[in-house]
Amino acid sequence: MRWVVAALAILVLAGCSYRPSDGTAPSQAKEFTFVAPGGQTRLTYDPEERGAVTGLEAEDLADPNRRLGLADFPGQVVVLNIWGSWCGPCREEIPDLQETYAQTRDRGVILLGIDVRDDRQAAQDFLRSRRVEYPSLFDPAGRSLLALRGFPPNVVPSTIVLDRSHRVAAVFLGAVRMSELRPVVDRVAAE
């Protein structure tokens, strides 16, 4: 019986291990892998639980000759928003996202949209008509979302708050309002 308990303890501990972020040497930064326990749509992670997002980049929506990604925002809190101009809830949340960005950008917070399953012109017109000032990636195939290992690519809109080390601090599946996003952004920016 003791050996069964010991074997189970080893398996549990092995399940808590992580891969190094670059795949070579041991690292203190574990990679982010998305899991929604019990189907939750609002998740927060304590600093010691956070996994890093790396390699997220795509074409800049505003300039098809430029690539844009997390590496362009070192040391900044990054609020990722997965959206599409065809998405009704995206239209509803965009004013709150723009307002959150306007109120927090001076504190080192960037909002970075990820436009999926969309036409470039329709997406640009969508942002222009709503006076959105923050940048967006243009990723109609959703390939950039592979950096969010296990993240459900069909949940549009979704918002992910990354801390200054680009580790996932919070996930909002579905539309988010400023009243729930802003306190999380403020807390993460103050860390």
Nearest CA among 15, 58, 71, 43 for reference residue 145: 58
- Please give the backbone phi and psi of residue 185, each rounded to the nearest 5 degrees, phi first: -60, -45
pLDDT at 103: 97
Among 5-9, 101-105, 113-117, 137-141, the least confident range: 5-9
The residue with greater pLDDT, 32 or 110, is 110
pLDDT at 56: 95
pLDDT-derived band at 42 (thresholds 50, 70, 90) equals very high
pLDDT at 138: 97
74 burial (CB, 10 Å; 0-12 / 13-18 / 19+) is exposed
pLDDT at 29: 54
136 close to 120: Cβ distance less than 8 angstroms? no
